[in-house]
Amino acid sequence: MNYFDEQIALLEDEKQIDFIQHENLLLRSSLQERRTQGVSWFPISISGSEIGRGDYLTITIQKTNFLEEGHQFRFGMPVALFSNHDPETDRLEGIIAFVSRETMRISVRVDELPDWTRRGKLGVDLLFDEHSYKEMFDALKEAKQRLADPKEVNLVQQLLGEKDYPYDSTEENIYHNDLLNKSQNDAVGEMLSNKPLVLMHGPPGTGKTTTLIAGIQALLKARKKQILVVAPSNTAVDLLTERLHEKGINVIRMGNPVRVSDHLQTLTLDAKIDSHYANKERKNLEKQVSAYLDMAHKYKRNFGKAERDQRKALFDEARKIRREIDKIQDYIVEDVLNNVEVITATLVGSNHPNIKQRNYETVIIDEAGQSLEAACWIPILKADRLIMAGDHCQLPPTVKSSTKPNEGLYLTLFEKLIKRFPIAVSLLNVQYRMNSQIMLYPSQVLYEGKLIADSKVAHWELINDSKPFIFIDTAGAGFEELIEENAISNKEEALFLIKHLKENLNNLSKEYAEDNFPRIGIIAPYRQQSHILKEMIYADDFFNPFLPFLQIHTIDSFQGQEKDIIYISLTRSNSLQKIGFLSDIRRMNVAMTRAKKKLIVIGDSGTVVQHSFYKGMLDYVMELNNYHSVWEWME
Band of pLDDT at residue 50, cut at 50, 70 and 90: confident
Q: What is the pLDDT of residues 430-484, one digit of tens each?
A: 999 999 999 999 999 999 999 999 999 999 999 999 999 999 999 999 999 999 9
Strand 487-489 relative to strand 482-484: parallel, antiparallel, unpaired? antiparallel
Q: 3-class SS at 345?
A: strand
Distance CA 329, CA 279 (A): 8
470 alpha carbon, distance to own chain's centre: 31
Spatial contact of 197 and 333, defined as CB atoms under 8 Å apart: no
pLDDT for the residue numbered 85: 76
**Sequence-distant (≥ 6) Cβ neighbours of residue 216 within 8 angstroms:** 227, 229, 244, 249, 342, 364
For the beta carbon of residue 360, count every other beta carbon within 10 angstroms.
19
For the beta carbon of residue 343, count every other beta carbon within 10 angstroms.
25
The single-letter DSSP state of residue 322 is H
Q: What is the pLDDT of residues 211-230, one digit of tens each?
A: 999 999 999 999 999 999 99
3-state helix, strand, coil in the chain (%, to 5): 45, 20, 35
For the beta carbon of residue 541, count every other beta carbon within 10 angstroms.
7
- Which range has the worst mean pLDDT, 303-307, 335-339, 617-621? 303-307
Band of pLDDT at residue 163, cut at 50, 70 and 90: low
pLDDT for the residue numbered 189: 96
pLDDT for the residue numbered 553: 92
Environment class of 350 (CB within 10 Å of its CB; exposed 0-12, middle 13-18, buried 19+): buried
Distance CA 45, CA 467 (A): 56
Residue 631 to residues 314, 472, 605, 635, Cα–Cα distance (Å): 83, 9, 14, 6
- Which range has the worst mean pLDDT, 46-50, 532-536, 587-591, 614-618? 46-50
What average pLDDT score do residues 524-536 get? 95
**Model confidence at 112: pLDDT above 90:** no
Spatial contact of 108 and 59, defined as CB atoms under 8 Å apart: yes
434 alpha carbon, distance to own chain's centre: 24
Q: 3-class SS at 33?
A: helix
The single-letter DSSP state of residue 632 is G
**Model confidence at 302: pLDDT above 60:** no
Q: What is the pLDDT of residues 235-289, one digit of tens each?
A: 899 999 999 999 999 999 998 777 767 788 899 998 898 888 887 766 667 766 6
Distance CA 577, CA 568 (A): 19
Backbone dihedral region for residue 478 (phi beyond 0: left; psi -120 to 50: alpha; all else: beta): left
CA-based nearest residue to 186, from 147, 214, 217: 214
In the 3-class helix/strand/coil scheme, how is 200-230 assigned residue by residue?
EECCCCCCHHHHHHHHHHHHHHHHCCCEEEE
CA-based nearest residue to 422, from 192, 125, 165, 83: 165
Spatial contact of 433 and 461, defined as CB atoms under 8 Å apart: no
**Model confidence at 301: pLDDT above 60:** no
The single-letter DSSP state of residue 596 is E
Distance CA 508, CA 513 (A): 9
- Model-level pTM? 0.89
Spatial contact of 423 and 195, defined as CB atoms under 8 Å apart: no
The strand ranges marked E within 239-326 are: 251-253
Q: How many CA atoms lie within 13 A of 426 on its CB side?
A: 27
Backbone dihedral region for residue 59 (phi beyond 0: left; psi -120 to 50: alpha; all else: beta): beta
For the beta carbon of residue 280, count every other beta carbon within 10 angstroms.
8
Using CA atoms in the order 521, 527, 530, 532, what is the torsion angle rounded to 10 degrees?
170
Band of pLDDT at residue 326, cut at 50, 70 and 90: confident
Spatial contact of 462 and 245, defined as CB atoms under 8 Å apart: no
Band of pLDDT at residue 393, cut at 50, 70 and 90: very high
**Model confidence at 57: pLDDT above 70:** yes
Distance CA 332, CA 9 (A): 41
The length of the chain in residues reads 635
CA-based nearest residue to 528, from 490, 500, 566, 502: 490
pLDDT for the residue numbered 306: 66
DSSP alpha helix (H) spans, 364-447: 373-380, 413-420, 436-446
Residue 109 to residues 113, 288, 325, Cα–Cα distance (Å): 10, 21, 18
pLDDT for the residue numbered 86: 76
Strand 40-51 relative to strand 482-484: parallel, antiparallel, unpaired? unpaired
**Angle ∠(586,592,598) on CA atoms, nearest 5:** 175
The single-letter DSSP state of residue 495 is H
Q: What is the pLDDT of residues 348-370, one digit of tens each?
A: 999 999 999 999 999 999 999 99
